[in-house]
Structure 1
């Protein structure tokens, strides 16, 4: 029991009747622990706070023991200004500028109500960035759905895309990249992961902390309503009072225009130095904001719940505490600055109310209608939740899955078969053009977008004078991770790292969203533990720290979990965005070269997935040394103006890279394949990129590659209006294998998604 105030009155207000702790997601041991902490039975309001704060979503109780590796193995760098534990990480990018970025999930809400689930996912991650003191400058998204032709996908996909686009467009934030993928494992459990990035000066960083007894606690933004009560941790609030309340909706409703006002209001408040601590209200709402602010400050806070502005006057205090209504922030303000704070909020038409005071009691005390309904040590709710080291065991079918190699699958060998396979892959849902999706997003609003999808990575200008900018990529591959979680997480990192370097940016920091099934399943926890270990080890090797992220568990349909899907975002820095390189073949006669080593690697490949629906074997070999060497070549080649185009090789191999670069630039290519044509075209070996060399720079690029130990092979020239491929026939002869006019490639590549989405 923690020492505190007199508990007689508060205990008397909570008669001995059954409490719905199980319905709120707590087990008996957790409930008993709350009673031990308080030395009494909790009130229903206190139970609400502990239930949401100790939920998997808020407390990371099943993942915390593994996530510590990101800190323990973090590479030493003076560029990391704020690391894990805050709303978002902050990185020094030079010239006094800092960048904050983070990715989070909104998976389950987006299945229940696709439009609002996705929209509020964007709104929530944007507020994380605001709360660090930054101006949001761009968003990205990673979306995964069931089979493209499934009826449920046709319900969820349009709503999610409309939600992401509608909210981001209304905020005036460009959506600069991401991914959209389809797989049967995501049926009835789509993944909607949203990333936001913001910029600030070093001195502008804000923290989620409530220092200074006597400082005022101000809730500002939208009024609190019944939407989203318990959405992150429990599904209903009706268990508190079954007789008087119906089940509340568990998906929040967003208002992007209010959030736009909130952004500008916050930035003006920050500019006048009116805030000493700030926290956004997302998962767990007022419960989370008050407990976390108090726990990170002087340890105490007194809140009058009667002062919280409500949309629904019938809300019980438990519902006020658990509501996840959107577009709300909580600030800690010195008494002498409160009037100016409220004046600025009023000018932006942002409701703002003083709801409490910071204390030094180390107690969070809340009153409602003249009664004390909460009196807890806030640190116990915010930082001392249960921590589980759950059982681990490889999934029972993993051995059989890894043994079922793609080697038994019939490979295309003739020119006609290879041609048909190129077109199949180009038009497959995962590799087809995502223009139907991205055309609904504003990619260039604000005027600082330098590159956006379908480029290797999004690039944003930060400083007009110097040309300083950032590049961001967001990547994942659940099939690889299903076959080998340790390698799969590293492969996701490798691809994102490579994409950023392909634009000419130096990779600098990582964020992640780890999407897995139930942590109560030993097989899932083994996958999670191995993936975290793999990501931590790879970041340590590459020298780029994890700045923060999100864990999303319970992604499964019935007893069947999704493929383990770590989604990895990498931030890179451009010293001058004017030297960035895109993926388009545009220079007629330019030499096309393949950088890196190609091996026969088809486990988890798009070829096996698209042509045969096969998943088995082992994923491509991870080669972090080769990735780092390739990145150094690409960054230096861009800096020195040696290349006119760069495109990484990943899903679909060289075949898909050629298709995308030719179509993006509107220029064909004449390619001569070294070695086995099937392997060269469709292998998904890592640490590879295709480059178009600036005429006359071939020798300098070759010398750069030799110095870095990166293999380089000239494979053709850009030009014409078709993709012409020459290689070895099954009989061993060298001849033209196939030719595909660009208009035919474009038709195959662009028709797929509109067919399924309309």
Structure 2
């Protein structure tokens, strides 16, 4: 049967609706808006009557949710202003996916399918005009459509029952005249140039003697797109003219250096291209042997360097891989999906190289996100909306896949109104002996693994390569997709196994171009059977299957005899894997569908990449003033300082950064914002290499450099200073610049063959060559995007530099002032009004910095940037609220930009030297004394933090304090389990992402762990997993429900999935037996959710309903930060060695982290001593201040136990800390619950 459900949160728990009400009021300024209702609509198909109650169990959470009868709903809609939005057919629906997953867990028929929609309702007196404003703000026709709830339930949301269209040959293609060919190109909407189409016509006419199929044309359009083959960057530059530029001498020298490098590397016969300029210095260093650490192979999806990683004190050879990627076009037109898949796409590149990807950075470019919505250009999404939704999309994917984003920065420039910059950089690593690189041979099989293929993403590669116009905004629906991060998480887990990776000869991720490119690139000769490609739904034709960019897919080449074993190993991780192709002797790409070859093209023709374009480049000046020579008003020092700190490109972006999980992975060396107040921004992302077993002190620094205004003024200087900034940030973090490796992201306007436009990337790349040569540091990778144009608006000429280097955690430096009485020094860069870049001064600063750190130890360091020394001093002070007495520096030098300079602190005074200037000392008082002027630190901090408060709030109104729970000296369960080596069972569910962190915490404490995937590929797989779980639980002393992802897009989330699993009768019996024998049970974050939903907490036994609930954070959004918790009861075995009043500084990262309970239950828990820890502020007070209690949990509760202390549930992530982490957060970060539990079930040694 078909059935529709309307589900709404009860008033106390409607935090998402309250958050949306607040957002709409701020963004749209609608005075009459007083109420928002959010009602989830579920349409179910092929639902059996007997499954109705179980469906309600999956979709409705008691106490929090209420089901609305359809007749009542229709009556309300007749009176209530409203609209309903559903996804377009083919778009990924995460809520529906999660519902169907929950149905699988409960054993509901897999035939039952779900489509969802979201009903927005508003107060009755809202005008039609204001309703339309709200609808325009929230509704994006690129990925969704309006739904009429008065119409019957319609299956077309996800089912296309039509027979897929036959792939035809293009009639008379090889005989078309040029005019007909031009007309045909427009009709087909091809992105390629006319010359390319003519090239194809000649090939099929003279080589193949036939007309091409529609699929062949679209495959070639994709294969040769700018996105896939960098056609703009490969354009042959016939002449380069910079004689009219005021910087012609510098550019001429860089150009001569470039030509010399071409001669040194023996490639003078090749055309001069942007790509050649981007790669020349790395190629040169490879030839001279200075780049011996770079791994060179046929797999070029990511930069790869060889490093040594200490594992338990022993060095091992590893590969460190990194990659940057943009999703500018998709994010501009569909912010959530575009940013969402930017993360997944970036991760899959090093993942295809077999690296475990664990570290991420997000750099974005936006127009003025603070401008009124009504100033938005026609056919554009408001900048505020793009920024907010893209942040949600990016963080949702990163958080769900288990990726750590410890650095995020959004640059503001009016040019980004043309097209947003959505840029991600990731780092991964793998032991070198896990990697096999072999050339595929005929007979090898190609396996497609991961997600199924849909129509989403068809045309994404060509769409990303096109300039954006009003028309493309209206017709780009299939260009974008949303990803299912949990699918990619499974592939990450699979590729972490040596037995799996050593079976792979070659691997390629499914990026732009889908099957045709991902599989087509693996070998010269490939035969693909498209009928074997798993699909999301019926109705896809051969062209769809060939070029769809559906996410979370990977292709691997294995020897024929290894295919079956590989598929078995994939299935064990719940990864679908199918042989879809084979390597052939004949060097042709052949795609067959329904018995017909719909693609049959010679490799030699594919590899031409179309007709190489030619162009001339002319470098002309912008006539803008130099941002490096900006002059500040020195009449009012305090006001000037405030103005600098409130600049949109300098102000604090802590609120945005808190949208990202920065501690997942047990590897974060520096938090995004450090100090006890978490207010000093880190210079870079620094993460330990994630080793599977044991511990390491080897980390990777990922730093970036970019200033859109320098690039707009002079692309040459913009690129050079991007390199300088990235290396300076790296140095300030404790890295060695001589070992750094670079990767660039270029982003420019559509060039269209115009010499002055081509001059911009030419100047930028020559600037990057000058910088690489000056520092002798090579770029070994990068990505270009050359379509940043909308009508007459262009993005600023952009080259973002990323610098990566390994570092020992003991050498890492963070920027926040550590204590009063420290000496402050400036390593300066003299001002040069000639625009000559002072490389020698900057290199000397790098050397002096390293010398001081080695001899005296630098306690805090900041690289100086656009805001000058004033910016550095202020930001360094915010974290620990330590002030400074400033002297020996002029007002002008205090405020001017000084890229390549550093502000540092030392505990002891340094000997006098010309290399640095003593400019003051730190103060215990939170103020700045400068000559006769005193400025409060709080005044400067407010200037920095208030700028984005309306869009990314940091501070919320405090609800005051609550009483500290008094300890109850009760007796805990007397454990009667005692084994020599305790076993810890950690089941891995769909959405689980902290299993490795949890396992390492228990292994460090002396236990062995069993990570058990709950496989759900088929019903048989699931039943087998249930049996394995029951047997494993019998053999375990400790059972842990690890953390996982939660989203407002899901009816369940990982915690509910776990709970539904635990409620199965056979699992409930197994858990009860486990507790009966004295086993210990722990749930962290999502695991805490599961324990509450089953009643195991707080009651210690299964219950149908509970007066305790974990629900969405009070602000209605995901929040990540460090929190302070205090032990208020310690009678549980989990806290056996902890003292009452003991504080711990722990990571908090949750969307649904709020503990809600009745006053009656609170009194019972307090009396029984079940409240284990509470959130406290800097003074140790239990608090309802969101700064310290980020979810606003009732009574400041962070963790509770069962009545006998056997079961513990907690929200903060105790498992994420080990030595060498969270170095910029003071205090005790090691909570010993893991050691306590293991000790409790371990036989005492005699």
TM-score range relative to shorter protein:
0.7 to 0.9
Q: Which shifted more, 192-201 or 77-86?
A: 77-86
Aligned to 2:654: 435
Q: 2:323 aligns with which of 84, 97, 102?
A: 102
| Structure 1 residue runs without a partner (length 5+) | 1-9, 238-245, 602-617, 727-734
Q: How many residues align?
A: 692
Q: 1:479 aligns with which of 702, 705, 709?
A: 709
Is the partner of 1:753 in helix, strand or coil? coil
Q: How far apart, in 2, do the equivalents of 1:83 and 1:505 lie?
A: 27
Q: How far apart, in 1, do the equivalents of 2:303 and 2:510 lie?
A: 18
- Say if 1:552 and 1:119 are closer, same or farther in 2 by CA, change over 3 A: same
- Please list every run of at least 4 consecutive aligned residues from structure 1 whose deviation after the TM superposition is greater than 4 angstroms: 10-14, 17-20, 269-272, 402-407, 463-466
Contact kept, 8 Å, 2:888 with 2:918, in 1: the verdict is no
Contact kept, 8 Å, 1:178 with 1:473, in 2: the verdict is no
1:247-396 matches, cutoff 5 A: 248-268=477-497, 271=500, 273-294=502-523, 299-382=524-607, 384-395=609-620
Q: Which shifted more, 350-359 or 537-546?
A: 537-546
1:557-596 matches, cutoff 5 A: 557-574=790-807, 576-596=808-828
**CA displacement 1:191-224 (0-9 Å, x = unmatched):** 11001100112333466x7611101111111111
Contact kept, 8 Å, 1:300 with 1:358, in 2: the verdict is yes
Q: Which shifted more, 485-494 or 528-537?
A: 528-537
Q: How far apart, in 1, do the equivalents of 2:211 and 2:838 lie?
A: 55
Is the partner of 2:831 in helix, strand or coil? coil
**CA displacement 1:312-361 (0-9 Å, x = unmatched):** 32122112212110000011111111111111121222221111110111
- Structure 2 residue 303 is matched with structure 1 residue 89: yes
Q: How far apart, in 1, do the equivalents of 2:644 and 2:297 lie?
A: 40
- Structure 2 residue 331 is matched with structure 1 residue 161: no
- Structure 2 residue 682 is matched with structure 1 residue 455: yes
Aligned to 1:503: 733
Shift of 1:642: 2.2
Q: 1:126 aligns with which of 347, 350, 361?
A: 347
Is the partner of 1:563 in helix, strand or coil? coil
- Say if 1:29 and 1:293 are closer, same or farther in 2 by CA, change over 3 A: same
- Say if 1:12 and 1:477 are closer, same or farther in 2 by CA, change over 3 A: closer
Aligned to 2:141: none
Q: How far apart, in 1, do the equivalents of 2:777 and 2:628 lie?
A: 33
- Structure 2 residue 248 is matched with structure 1 residue 34: no
- Structure 2 residue 849 is matched with structure 1 residue 647: no
Aligned to 2:928: 724
Q: How far apart, in 1, do the equivalents of 2:616 and 2:528 lie?
A: 40
Q: Which has the larger Rg?
A: 2
Q: How far apart, in 2, do the equivalents of 1:153 and 1:403 lie?
A: 27
Q: How far apart, in 2, do the equivalents of 1:21 and 1:371 lie?
A: 25
Q: 1:68 aligns with which of 270, 276, 299?
A: 276
Shift of 1:114: 0.8
Q: How far apart, in 2, do the equivalents of 1:394 and 1:82 lie?
A: 34
Contact kept, 8 Å, 1:142 with 1:475, in 2: the verdict is no
Contact kept, 8 Å, 2:704 with 2:801, in 1: the verdict is yes
Is the partner of 2:702 in helix, strand or coil? strand
Q: 2:665 aligns with which of 435, 438, 446?
A: 446
Q: How far apart, in 2, do the equivalents of 1:527 and 1:502 lie?
A: 30
Contact kept, 8 Å, 2:886 with 2:920, in 1: the verdict is yes
Q: How far apart, in 2, do the equivalents of 1:428 and 1:159 lie?
A: 23
- Say if 1:43 and 1:420 are closer, same or farther in 2 by CA, change over 3 A: same
Is the partner of 1:33 in helix, strand or coil? helix
| Structure 2 residue runs without a partner (length 5+) | 1-165, 174-179, 235-272, 309-314, 374-381, 467-474, 673-680, 954-1246
Shift of 1:236: 12
Q: 1:629 aligns with which of 844, 849, 853?
A: 844
Shift of 1:589: 0.8
Q: How far apart, in 2, do the equivalents of 1:744 and 1:390 lie?
A: 53
Shift of 1:72: 2.8
Aligned to 1:732: none
Shift of 1:386: 3.2
Is the partner of 1:181 in helix, strand or coil? strand
What is the TM-score normalised by the length of structure 2?
A: 0.53
**CA displacement 1:57-97 (0-9 Å, x = unmatched):** 11111112122134332233212123897100111222412
Shift of 1:672: 1.1
- Say if 1:631 and 1:572 are closer, same or farther in 2 by CA, change over 3 A: farther
- Structure 2 residue 769 is matched with structure 1 residue 550: no
Q: How far apart, in 2, do the equivalents of 1:272 and 1:62 lie?
A: 35
Contact kept, 8 Å, 1:292 with 1:378, in 2: the verdict is no
**CA displacement 1:613-670 (0-9 Å, x = unmatched):** xxxxx8x642222232222232343344521111000021111111100102320001
Shift of 1:248: 4.9
Q: How far apart, in 1, do the equivalents of 2:720 and 2:575 lie?
A: 44
**CA displacement 1:520-542 (0-9 Å, x = unmatched):** 14322111011112212321332
Is the partner of 2:452 in helix, strand or coil? coil
- Say if 1:725 and 1:523 are closer, same or farther in 2 by CA, change over 3 A: farther
Contact kept, 8 Å, 1:673 with 1:680, in 2: the verdict is no
Q: 1:666 aligns with which of 874, 881, 900?
A: 881
Shift of 1:389: 3.1
Q: 1:47 aligns with which of 213, 217, 221?
A: 217
Aligned to 2:699: 469
- Structure 2 residue 722 is matched with structure 1 residue 492: yes
- Structure 2 residue 427 is matched with structure 1 residue 223: no
Is the partner of 1:390 in helix, strand or coil? strand
Aligned to 1:80: 294
Aligned to 2:171: 15
Is the partner of 2:190 in helix, strand or coil? coil
Backbone CA RMSD of aligned residues: 2.5
Is the partner of 1:718 in helix, strand or coil? strand
Contact kept, 8 Å, 1:177 with 1:474, in 2: the verdict is no
- Say if 1:305 and 1:159 are closer, same or farther in 2 by CA, change over 3 A: same
Contact kept, 8 Å, 2:418 with 2:795, in 1: the verdict is no
Q: 2:948 aligns with which of 733, 745, 753?
A: 753
